[in-house]
Structure 1
Amino acid sequence: MLRLAITGAGGFLGWHVRTLLRALGRPEPIIVTRADLTDPDAVAAKIDGADRVLHLAGVNRGDPAQVAAGNVQLAAQLARGLRCCPTPPAAVVFANSVQAGNGTPYGDAKATAANLLAGTGVALDDLLLPNLYGEHGRPFYNSVVATFCRLLASGGAPEVQNDREMVLVHATDAAARLVGVPAGGSWDPAMPSLRTGVGELAQRLSGFADAYRRSEIPSLSDRHDVRLFNTYRSHVFPDHAPMPLPRRADARGELVETVRVHDGGGQTFCSGSHPGVTRGEHFHLAKIERFVVLRGSAEIALRRVGDADVVRFAVAGDEPVAVDMPTMWAHRITNTGPGELITLFWTNELFDPGRPDTYPEPVDLPALVPGVVMAG
């Protein structure tokens, strides 16, 4: 199994890399912190004998001169550590940018960083990445997708100032390419891209937000729609959960609309659970999953992969609500009542035993593993 080391582990792309490794059942990578990078001997000690070093640390936004200087400095620090390494890694994979060498301070700094790493004599995989998007990106920093999602989540509206064409790639696909794993599950190292205008992106995300405010699942025609919707959902959870469901009552009784899907299907199933029984303790990378308790009472608990804090919801069949599982969050449901718990589950895709997109992960952690960096 490959021994990986990584810089920038606490950033957006670094978190997606570590989450993918968790899904693959791989050990945590060796974390090279920014403090380590200031000491060549500390870097050398950490990456000595590694199969692959992923250089993800960088500076994306800020004063142009500082952004340029920061990207060159980080690469130079890693290069010094590589030269000090008794057993250099087999390869360095640099999360570079398609803007490298485009004449801007950022682009030229990225090109200089690649040259510095290439000059160490260690094999360099210079990966030119387009715009990345995905769950838990930082608004006004990582991507316009994160910015638009945060604005919509807070009740605002995206503003399109320059309606240019963009090429978007989901961060998990980029992570698969960086780690060097073949296509499988919900990732694709070929990094299938979405070409879209900024205005078109704003309209698409606004449509997702409009439907979701009504607890509805919007039309999701392809894998990028699913991933863009999951990205939006990462910005509304947990503040907008659980979601109320439309209820209708007449002389015959009550009707609750549990799932309304625009132009789609998926799979619905129900379970009965005895008192104290727990279901779940896993996470998904792309699958959308909804829980609705119809009878009894339960606790739904969730934890973002790589974090320690647990979010808990007490739910009951007397007042049915929907709780949608955000992607890349471990989750479970436990019967907390004295009788049988009846729960309705809905997913946006039919279950495929060969590609279940379900990865074991406990919600409660006894303690954080030493060396694990919390997601930024």
Structure 2
Amino acid sequence: MTRYAVSGAGGFLGWHTRAALRESGVTVDAVPVGDAFDAERALAAIDGSTRAVHIAGVNRASDEEVMAGNIGFAEQFAAALRAAANPPPVVAYANSTQVGNGSVYGEAKARAAETLAAAARDIGAEFVNVSLPNLFGEHGRPFYNAVTSTFSHLIAKGESPTVENDKELTLLHAQNAVDLLTGTASVDRQADLEVVETVSGLLARLQGYAALYRQGEIPDVDSDFDRDLFNTYRSFTFPEQSPISLTRHADARGSFFEIIRSHGGPGQSSFSTTVPGVTRGDHFHRRKIERFTVLQGRARISLRRLFSDEVVSFDVSGDAPGAVDMPTMWAHNITNVGSETLYTSFWTNDIFDPQNPDTIAEVV
């Protein structure tokens, strides 16, 4: 069994790590650090693990707390590594590109890296030091994790953020950061996964997405960056902007309504019939955008954010058509709750690739 030991598993990047590893069936054991540190629990998580990933850190606090927190977390993690009878062969560290910039945070992250590298040498493990730039991704905390989260939150609420200090940002999606930390992507490829954008350019992109998405339209998501950034924005609109109302035109001949307008990139449309009482789906996507539209019949579309018990449901009908877009890393399904056959249209932003389906089984 493949098992990873992960510190900071409850934080932003930790959540993305657990979500990504769900695809490959990797078990994640949390390593408690800080005030919650328990030597026995930390050892139990690390001992026998396939890879140990240290993510936990402190980036917003007093200088003293930033320094003590980052170094202290690393020392606790290192102690558990050295205590393991069967230590992991790989130790990965979520470091920062701020190392060497003269900041307290940069110095603290550098010293933490030294602590972890020494522990890795002592146990004979490979040390993977991943210097992460500005991360963005679904469900980041506004006014804390990154400017992308703050902008997305404000724009989704109908506000107009302003740029006080325009500068260039090196941006990396959290799922790509996870791939680097877990070895799914080579650290040598990191530059290919990053995008440089100004703060004002980032804001303009997000505002452009929002203007189209308020009308139910999908912006140009041809590039991986635009797709990931749009998915990040969408996470701040759900469930308030769902379902998306569609205008139904009916006359003596029948009815007509548009399902989707996409402004760029590939796409694939599918159609299904579902008999009464049957449920389809029960899966999630890491990056794929998917839209469900009921054409005829009555259905209940249910969604659950990974690692949460709360389920969000929408009752939809072909008589008053509405589209529901599936947020990334939310399990979702559709159930025929009517007495007749259900007709449903499915649209995704990519063409299905059986070698990389991005469709991971997960019961709502």
Is 1:108 paired with 2:107? yes
Distance 1:264 1:54, change over 3 A: closer
TM-score where L is the length of structure 1 = 0.90
Q: Which has the higher contact order (CA 8 A, sep 6+)?
A: 1
**Which consecutive unaligned segments of at least 5 residues does structure 1 have?**
364-376
Which of 144-153 and 112-121 deviates more? 112-121
Deviations 1:293-351 (A, max 9, x none): 11110100111122111111111111000100111111110100000111111111222
Residue 173 of structure 2 aligns to which amino acid in structure 1?
Answer: H
Give the letter for the 1:95 counterpart. A
2:33·2:76 contact (CA, 8 Å) conserved in 1?
no
Aligned amino acid, residue 23 of structure 1: E
Question: In the TM superposition, what is the alpha-carbon distance from 1:249 to its structure 2 partner?
Answer: 4.9
Classify 1:265/1:177 alpha carbon distance in 2 versus 1 (closer, same or farther; 3 Å).
closer
1:216 aligns with 217
Following superposition, the deviation at residue 286 of structure 1 comes to 1.1
CA drift at 1:41 = 4.1
Contact 1:51 1:91 in 2 (8 A): yes
- Displacement of 1:80 after TM fit? 2.5
Give the Cα–Cα distance (whole angstroms) in 1 for the partners of residues 89 and 176 of structure 2.
23
Structure 2 gap ranges (5+)? none
Q: Distance in 2 between matches of 1:246 and 1:144?
A: 35
Q: Using the TM superposition, give the Cα deviation of residue 252 of structure 1 relative to its aligned residue in structure 2, in angstroms.
A: 4.9
1:352 aligned to 2:340?
A: no
Cα pair 1:208 1:218 within 8 Å, conserved? yes
Structure 1 window deviating more from structure 2 (167-176 vs 62-71): it is 62-71
CA distance in 2, matches of 1:42, 1:331: 33
For 1:130, the aligned partner's letter is P
How do 1:184-333 residues align onto structure 2 when only pairs under 5 Å count? Answer: 192-249=193-250, 252-333=253-334
- In structure 2, how many angstroms separate the alpha carbons of the residues matched to 1:152 and 1:250? 38
The alignment of Structure 1 onto Structure 2 pairs a total of residues equal to: 358
Determine if contact 1:170/1:191 at 8 Å carries over to the other structure.
no
Q: Hey, what does 1:74 align to over in structure 2?
A: 73
For residues 313 and 173 of structure 1, what CA distance do their matches in structure 2 show? 31
Contact in 1 for aligned 2:297/2:317 (Cα 8 Å): yes
Identity of aligned residues (%): 51
Instruction: Return closer, same or farther for 1:265/1:250 CA change in 2, 3 Å cut-off.
Output: farther
Q: Match for residue 163 of structure 1?
A: 166
Residues 101-148 of structure 1 deviation map (CA, whole Å, 9 limit, x = unaligned): 321111111111111222322442221111111111111111111111
Relative to structure 1, the CA distance from residue 157 to residue 91 in structure 2 (aligned partners, 3 Å threshold; closer, same or farther) is same
1:89 CA drift (Å): 2.6
Letter in 1 for 2:169: M
Bigger CA drift: 151-160 or 254-263? 254-263
Q: Aligned partners of 1:206, 1:349: CA distance in 2, in Å?
A: 23
Cα distance, 1:51 vs structure 2:
2.9
Kept after mapping to 1: 8 A contact 2:294/2:322: yes
**How far apart are 1:189 and its partner, in Å?**
6.8
Specify the alignment match of 1:98 in structure 2.
Answer: 97
Partners of 1:361 and 1:82 in 2: how far apart?
A: 32
* Greater shift in the superposed pair: 344-353 or 326-335: 344-353
| Amino acid across the alignment from 1:139 | P
- 1:278/1:109 Cα in 2 relative to 1: closer, same or farther (>3 Å)? same
Deviations, residues 58-116 of structure 1 (Å, cap 9, x unaligned) = 11223333222211111122222233333333232110001113211111111111112
State the match for 1:9 in structure 2.
9
> What SS is found at the alignment partner of 1:200?
helix
Change over 3 Å in CA distance of 1:357–1:41 after alignment to 2: closer
Deviates more, 1:119-128 or 1:95-104: 119-128
Partner AA of 1:158 in structure 2: P
Structure-2 separation of matches of 1:156 and 1:62? 27
Aligned to 1:33: 32
Distance (Å, rounded) in 2 between the aligned partners of 1:85 and 1:269:
51
